[in-house]
Amino acid sequence: MTGINYFADTNCFIYLLDEHPCILPFINDQWVYSYITEIELLAKKTITNKEDKLIRQMLSVCVRAGHSQEITDAVIRIRRQCNLKVPDAIIAASAQIMKLPLLTADKEFSKIKELDIYLIEL
């Protein structure tokens, strides 16, 4: 995708919300995210209205990836090969199908040899 730099894992948004310095080098890049990231960020039982609004604003400046049968097939393959949790497999498969590097701090993604990963150092 033209102009898109990374497929962002959920932890990127958490670091952004926490204003963690590890994410600062990437704040001017264009990110794509999965619907699963939106669910993970907004489904917290203790979320406040202010947090909800802030998360939605943050997501609105990024691109939300759609879902497809191709992604589902890739999730199944990744789960069988690497035994990642379903949300992580969805994120990895989406990045892989979209041919974007996955921006993450989660080393578990390195199990997927054919995935281009940009690992954030904490």
Which domains, ranges and CATH numbers included, belong to the chain? 6-119 (3.40.50.1010)
Give pLDDT tens digits for 7-24: 999 999 999 999 999 999
Give 122's pLDDT tier (boundaries 50, 70, 90).
Answer: confident
And the tokens for 51?
Answer: 């947090």
Is pLDDT at 1 greater than 60 in this prediction? no
Give pLDDT tens digits for 23-81: 999 999 999 999 999 999 999 999 999 999 999 999 999 999 999 999 999 999 999 99
Return mean pLDDT, the chain.
95
Determine the pLDDT at residue 4. Answer: 92
Is pLDDT at 2 greater than 80 in this prediction? no
Q: Which residue has the tokens 């989406």?
A: 94
- How far, in Å, CA of 67 to CA of 83, rounded? 21
